[in-house]
A = this chain, B = another copy of it.
Amino acid sequence: MQRLLGNLRIQIPEQLYVKDPDSSDLGKKIVEHSILLIEELGFESFTFKKLGIAIGSPESTVYRYFENKHKLLLYLTSWYWGWLEYKVAFATANIKSCEQQLENSIRAICETVEEDQDFSHINEEKLQKIVISESSKAFLTKEIDSENKNGYFQSYKNLVERLEGIISGLNPQYPFPKTLASTLLESNHLQKFFGAHIPGITDIAHSDEDVIAFFKSMTFSTLNYGS
């Protein structure tokens, strides 16, 4: 995909941070190194103490930006969803054919990020790996209802809504556009994870093309547009 606009900002629900990490160098450093560390250690072994050491600041400083590591994960995943929505919007802009719009969206969703892009301190490649392995832990909690009520998942909803529009554009009668959209998003991660780690339960190998072929076939036939 083409480079993104340098001065673009991804909007994150402000309930997710104590102090906007985008408002200071230290904040950006916290986000930057949290991505590197979570990718390296996994979310369970990641701690604010280790993050403090990585950025050369005491643990307590991290707490001035994020209440806890769960909220930090929500922040990172929200950033990713916002970024992906932007990618989808870009990939479908000026495309007349609904079919083509949906195909481009599927590609945007399933494409593995190969290199660091433009958002300065955010390493999109590693962030995508985090989202694949850790993002579902951000909502599979006992606090889900109150957190959803508080708008913690707004970025995800926005993305699903955008995809819903594209799906309904292609087949306005289809009764499950949102379900299809969220299935696409989540299953993409799961299948990539299975392909890399539990190959016995998927036919997906390592190339993106397998995943894309699977989801294109699934989506278009479900919508009665036999691909």
In contact, B183 and A191 (Cβ under 8 angstroms): yes
Secondary structure at the A interface, as helix, strand, loop or mixed, is helix
A202 contact set on B, CB distance < 8 A: 178-179, 182
Among residues of B, the one whose C-beta sits closest to the C-beta of A159 is B201
A198 contact set on B, CB distance < 8 A: 139, 144, 148, 153, 156-157
In contact, B194 and A142 (Cβ under 8 angstroms): no
In contact, A201 and B157 (Cβ under 8 angstroms): yes
A175-B213, A177-B203 given; name 20 further pairs at CB < 8 Å.
A42-B141, A136-B190, A139-B193, A140-B193, A144-B198, A148-B198, A156-B198, A157-B198, A176-B213, A176-B217, A178-B200, A179-B202, A180-B218, A182-B190, A182-B201, A186-B190, A218-B222, A221-B221, A221-B224, A224-B226
Interface residues of A (CB under 8 A from B): 41-42, 44-45, 133-134, 136-137, 139-142, 144-145, 148, 153, 156-157, 160, 175-183, 186-187, 190-191, 193-194, 197-198, 200-204, 210, 213-214, 217-218, 221-222, 224, 226
